[in-house]
A and B are shown apart, each in its own frame.
Chain A
Amino acid sequence: MTNALSILFCLTLMYLAVTTRLRSYVLILVFQGILVAGVYTVSFFENFSATHLVIAGAVLLLRTILIPAYIVKIIRDLDMEHRDRTHRYHPGFLVQISGVIIAALLLSYQFSRMASVLVIPLGTALAGIFSGGLLIIRRRLLLAHVIGFLIIENGLFLLGVGVKAEMPWVIELGAFLDLFVLVFLMGIAMNHLKSHFPEGAGEDLTTLRD
């Protein structure tokens, strides 16, 4: 079951490569949130406790409701819906993401020979981290960069599951709070950026240089 959910996560990454609509990015985040919570629940199912329930609930609340809803609000407030194509579709990006997924799974398999890890979830986690990074590099809009960062965070959460590293619940919840505050601050900054950089594109931020 963990493997099946992880493979679905990889498919959301493929969709990430072919879509250029901001709304689709938000949809991907919602799906990934559900999948991440699912992988977490299934992997700890045998000794599932109230703590696990709280963390899984927090993942669902934060990654599938609060953050996506906040991003939709930013899209509306900044009137980005009419120009939601951040970049024209490029098949090369699909090839790159596919390559990243295959490489991540192979890397995870190599790790499994050295330590006790879950191969598919770990590979998926690495693929998520690298794909989020690729999205930041390939897309112009700052909002797409924030989405890329959130995909990296999803990958990071899966990484914890993949290497079977269980953090104390206080720390897990603290990390969620951090993530929420960070996205909130980035949202505020984007609102201000709109007045200085109407395009909202990463390449506009070149005032500061040596």
Chain B
Amino acid sequence: MMLTILLLVVLPLLAVGFTAWSRSLEKSHLATLITATAHLAATFYLLLTQRNPFAANLWLGIDPLGSFFLIILSHTFLAVALYSPGFLHRMQKPEYNASRRLYYPALNSYLLANTLVIVTQHFGLLWVVLELTTFSLAPLIYFYRSKESLEAVWKYLFLVSLGLVFLLIGILALGLAAKGTGEQASLLFADLVRVAVRLDPLWVKVGFVFALVGISAKIGLAPMHPADIDATSNAPGPVAALMAGSLRSTAMLVLLRFYEVASHTSVGEFSQRLLMIAGAFSLLVATVYIWRSRDYKRLLAYSSVEHLGIITLSTGVGGAAMLGALLHTLFNSFGKIALFFMAGRINRDLQTREIESVQDLMQRLPWSGFVFGVAFFYVVGTPPSGFFFSELLMLQGMVHARAWLVLGVFLVLLMIIFIGMSRAVLRMMQNPRRSAPPTSEPPERFHLAHAVSLYALAVSVPIAIFQPDFLFGPLRSILAEFGFSL
């Protein structure tokens, strides 16, 4: 058990120190890769054994929810660690020197901060470590040192921190709710769930509303999404993949922690309704902007708003829809890895982010175009992608809950989004250019980034079809913690 803690928390901390000290990018990469692999091994071990390696008085611990979200973080981080050397190798301009130097320390800080958010069992500590995730991302978002990335990092720092102010108000409200229970007011998740029926419903309601508004900036839920969109679309490919694939999921976990407390009180129904409204609104906003987007990286960022909206909406519905939402979170990380890796490569090779300027992708960049196309079909839920199965579970949950209005809104908006995204992506893939391209460039070769992306897309299929018990067992436990059974 001690080894698990070492691999989860101590090793990333050591990796931060080593990569900050080391002048060699190769050694930093190796240290990051070892850390990422060890982290993934530890999270798999925790998922399989469902044991908590932390002492109770540390305010840290692993529960089924935590072990599931750790898998998402580890997987995404390992993919990014594999992709990074190729990315940094191409960033040889002198203006990137400082960014290259900061890259690995920031990346390992990101892993450490996110792991701490997931294993924290105390709302107060959660708030403190959540801010660390923002700090670790700042140098990564500002990698290109351009006017746009500077604006993006400023807005991200400012708006997410303002969101966290709201989150803290939510935590204080929960503290007030706990005061009325007559016991020592504690902000430990387990304590709050244990005394949930005696919590003051008014303060739980206030706490949940503030928490939802506050964490929305980090999840990327509308109307708090703009900073997240700017940051994701202006960050380099691997950083954008990290943000869309794991940071938003970690932030979603924070919301689920609040929801877990609320679901055990009389405010449960209210919080479910609120989640459904927040999710549907995000879906609506994503629909509008996916149709308006002229920049494919922003289009992908809005696709993240869409999917986090779907996850929030289905969490609110509960039951099978919540199981679908959890699976969707995992599959979303796989899809976003592939999409943002390929978007990064397309941007680098074609030197444009405009959808109009990228045409005939299958001819110009056959491998990146192919993987980008497969990833597109994946994220729009084409069978047999993981999204298809998770969305099927969501539909089942909505029918079972007789949430007909939600079902209608969900289906209509998904269809409009599908058409909007197809319009943009298929134009990029196939539309032949009017003028012939310069032919001096060598043809694109198969790269590790393509292999990692294809793996990420393929792995969801057996998970969704065979529903392995090592994953679905904890998922059923999570549903039981929220008061749902299948």
Contact = CB atoms under 8 A, between A and B. Distances in A.
Contacts of B298: 210
Given A168-B124, A171-B125, A185-B157, A159 B169 contact: yes
B150 A192 contact: yes
A42 interface: no
B158 A196 contact: no
Nearest to B233: A208
A132 to B, nearest CB: 9
Interface in A84-127: 114-117
A186 B168 contact: no
A165 B169 CA distance: 11
B158 A149 contact: yes
A178 interface: yes
Contacts, number: 96
Contacts of A152: 162, 165
B481 interface: no
A181 B148 contact: no
B154 interface: yes
Nearest to B162: A149
B289 interface: yes
B148 A145 contact: no
Contact of B154 (A129, A142, A171, A177): A142
B292 interface: yes
A208 B175 contact: no
A160 B174 CA distance: 12
Interface residues of A, number: 37
23 contacts: A115-B176, A129-B165, A142-B154, A159-B172, A163-B172, A165-B172, A165-B175, A165-B185, A171-B124, A174-B125, A177-B128, A186-B154, A192-B145, A193-B150, A196-B150, A197-B147, A205-B155, A207-B148, A207-B151, A208-B234, A210-B289, A210-B294, A210-B298
Given A178-B128, A189-B157, A210 B292 contact: yes
Contacts of B128: 171, 174-175, 177-178
Given A168-B124, A171-B125, A178-B131, A115 B203 contact: yes
Interface of A: 114-117, 129, 142, 145, 149, 152-153, 156, 159-160, 163-165, 167-168, 170-171, 174-175, 177-178, 181-182, 185-186, 189, 192-193, 196-197, 205, 207-208, 210
B292 A185 contact: no
B135 interface: yes
B87 interface: no
B477 interface: no
Contact of B172 (A116, A160, A193, A196): A160
Contacts of A193: 150, 154
Mostly helix, strand, loop or mixed at chain B's interface?
helix
A192 B151 CA distance: 10
B143 to A, nearest CB: 13
A163 B203 CA distance: 12
Given A167-B124, A171-B125, A115 B200 contact: yes
A174 B233 CA distance: 31
| Minimum-distance CB pairs A-B, first 6 | A174-B128, A171-B124, A178-B131, A165-B175, A196-B147, A208-B230
A145 B200 CA distance: 36
B37 interface: no
A138 to B, nearest CB: 16
Interface in B114-161: 122, 124-125, 127-129, 131-132, 134-135, 138, 142, 145, 147-148, 150-155, 157-158, 161
Nearest to A188: B138
A201 B200 CA distance: 44
Contact of A145 (B150, B158, B168): B158
B33 to A, nearest CB: 27
B135 A182 contact: yes
A135 B173 CA distance: 25
Contacts of A164: 179
Nearest to A115: B176
Nearest to A162: B172
B202 interface: yes
Interface string B220-234: 000000000010011
Contacts of A170: 125
B293 interface: yes
